[in-house]
Amino acid sequence: MSTVNNTTFKSAVFLLTGIPGQEDVHLWIFILFCLMYVISIVGNSVILFIVKTDPSLHEPMYIFLSMLAVTDLGLSIATIPTIVGIYLFNSREISFNACFAQLFFIHLFECTESCVLLLMAFDRFVAICNPLRYASILTLPRIAKMGLVCVLRGVAVVFPLPILLKRFQYCRANILSHSYCLHQDVMKAACSDISVNSIYGLFAKLLTMGLDSLLIFLSYMIILKTVLSIVSHTKCLRALNTCVSHLCAVLLFYTPQIGLSVVHRFGKGSSPLLQILLGYISMLVPPLLNPIVYSVKIKHLRARIIKVFIK
């Protein structure tokens, strides 16, 4: 019976899911997603180019912004193949090894982006609460080490996920809930006990995004306390204004991530369409809007972008 109902990861495939009931408009959905991808890739690439080529932008805030752009590019590139395959070629199949590789890179870039957002919060914390020591604390070698720690933490936390998933046997109806592979989605297709994966997945989420979001919240509580103690109303608003773009990036990243995690773990009776939409929002919206938000809010960066395109 087990050989009939189960299959090993070496000989099977997963079936990815588009938007149910919208097969007739797949081409239009592809055009929409393609436009979003183009804007995301071009926007983040422009930010990287400008920061690299303009020596006046070789400052901690812009270097952290470059790190954010790299993770956004990685997140976009990791999901492009399967989403394009579904909506342009109606190709839903993905091999187990390709699926495990995709979920590794998706979760790696998510974990790294969470860490980068924490570093950006630390940058704002030092700039506002200890401005006299800003240059001595956030030196270029120290920033490089902080970025490396973010990547290594992500690899260390995410690397066990595909290894744990490969231990399982999977039912033949390996239909996933999204157009790409996620750990919490793939493990539900297993015919084995997934307790270890479920516990480790929750632990990894709390250790990375949970801890990062808590530290970001605490840093902004201290920033707010410091800003409110400033006598000058103009300086108070100016200090808060430097945090607006980062706060937008934090909300864009964490809100759909938290919603998707809650739906996957506790929303057994929730609408499949809700899972799909939250998944697309979490994967596509932050890389799309982050460069737009920063370009609009940071005057110096906006001026450089305009100068590049006018030339």
Number of domains observed in the structure of the chain: 1
| CA–CA separation, 161 and 190 (whole Å) | 14
The pLDDT assigned to 209 comes to 92
Cα angle at 263 between 68 and 173, to 5 degrees?
Answer: 105
Choose among 154, 159, 12, 161: nearest CA to 93.
12
Burial (CB count within 10 angstroms: exposed 0-12, middle 13-18, buried 19+), residue 162: buried
181: which DSSP letter? Answer: -
The pLDDT assigned to 290 comes to 93
pLDDT one digit per residue (tens) for the chain, 311 residues: 344 444 444 447 888 988 877 778 888 999 999 999 999 999 999 999 999 988 888 899 999 999 999 999 999 999 999 999 999 888 889 998 999 999 999 999 999 999 999 999 999 999 998 888 999 999 999 999 999 999 999 999 999 999 999 888 887 568 888 899 998 888 888 887 888 888 898 889 889 999 999 999 999 999 988 888 876 777 777 877 888 889 999 999 999 988 888 887 776 666 778 888 888 999 999 999 999 999 888 888 888 878 777 76
Signed CA dihedral, 69, 74, 77, 79: sign only? negative
- Supply the pTM of this predicted model: 0.91
Q: What are phi and psi of 281, to 5 degrees?
A: -60, -45
The pLDDT assigned to 1 comes to 39
207: which DSSP letter? Answer: I
The two tokens of residue 202 are 């929750």
Q: Give the bridge partners for 13, in sequence order.
A: 95
The pLDDT assigned to 284 comes to 92
Q: Give the bridge partners for 7, in sequence order.
A: 170
How close are the terminal C-alpha atoms of the chain, in Å? 69
As separate numbers, helices (DSSP H) first and strands (DSSP E) second, the chain gives 13, 4
| CATH number assigned to the domain comprising residue 301 | 1.20.1070.10
| CA–CA separation, 249 and 294 (whole Å) | 9
177 contacts 17 by C-beta, under 8 angstroms: yes
**Tally of residues, the chain:** 311
Q: What are phi and psi of 175, to 5 degrees?
A: -95, 120
The pLDDT assigned to 2 comes to 42
What residues make up the domain containing 34?
2-310
The pLDDT assigned to 4 comes to 40
Instruction: List, in order, residues 6 or more apart from 267 with CB less than 8 Å away.
Output: 274, 275
